[in-house]
Each structure stands twice: as structure tokens, then as C-alpha cells.
Amino acid sequence: MKVERLKNIIKEATREVIHEELKEILLEAVKSRSSTPIVENKISSGQQENVRNGLRSSYKDILGETAQTMTTNNLQGTFTPQPDIDSANGTLPPGQVSLDQIGAFIK
């Protein structure tokens, strides 16, 4: 038996089984359908606006606290850029990086 024919037989059998199962699932869903209607809770536009304003003020507070506490005064040491190293244009410091080190960055 050729592999192509075997694949086609498996595909056809799978389609038949799925078709039969879907029929049964749909019939059960229709039979057990509840008579109570589904009621959606809708939020009024006023409530949505209150929620949005609350979120905005919360984020402003968080950002304000961060700006007050995180300044350059908190940094230890000084930053001294190294000459002739420009990662934006492809100039990197000499040396080798192993795949283990790269994998550690990804994790």
C-alpha cells in the first residue's frame, strides 16, 4: 500500500469520526438548551468614564512616585562610555560569546 493512499484513508476516517461526534454534540446542546434567556450586564458610559478616570489617576500616581524616588542621585558610580564601541552601528567590543551565555539571556 502506498503512503499517499494510507494518508487519504486516515484523513477520510478522521473526517467521518469528527463529523459524527459534532452531530452528537450539537444534538445534545439543542436538547439540553435551557429555557432561561441569557442576560448581559451592561456598564453605562458614566461608569466606564469613572473607571477610566480612576485608572488614569492611579497610573499618574505611580509614575509620579517613581519619578520622585528614582533619580540619578540613586545611581552608584559614574558612567564612562568606552571609545570605539558603537552597538548601533555594529561595532562591538572584541571577544567571544558562547551559546550558553546567549541561552542564559533568553531564559
3-class secondary structure per residue, the chain: CCHHHHHHHHHHHHHHHHHHHHHHHHHHHHHCCCCCCCCCCCCCHHHHHHHHHHHHHHHHHHHHHHHHHCCHHHCCCCCCCCCCCEHHHCECCCCCCCHHHHHHHHC
Look over the chain and give the mean of its residue pLDDT values, rounded to a whole number. 82
Binning pLDDT at 50, 70 and 90, where does residue 80 land? confident
Check residue 56 and give its pLDDT. 93
pLDDT at 64 over 80: yes
What is the mean predicted confidence (pLDDT) over 45-52? 85
Check residue 81 and give its pLDDT. 73
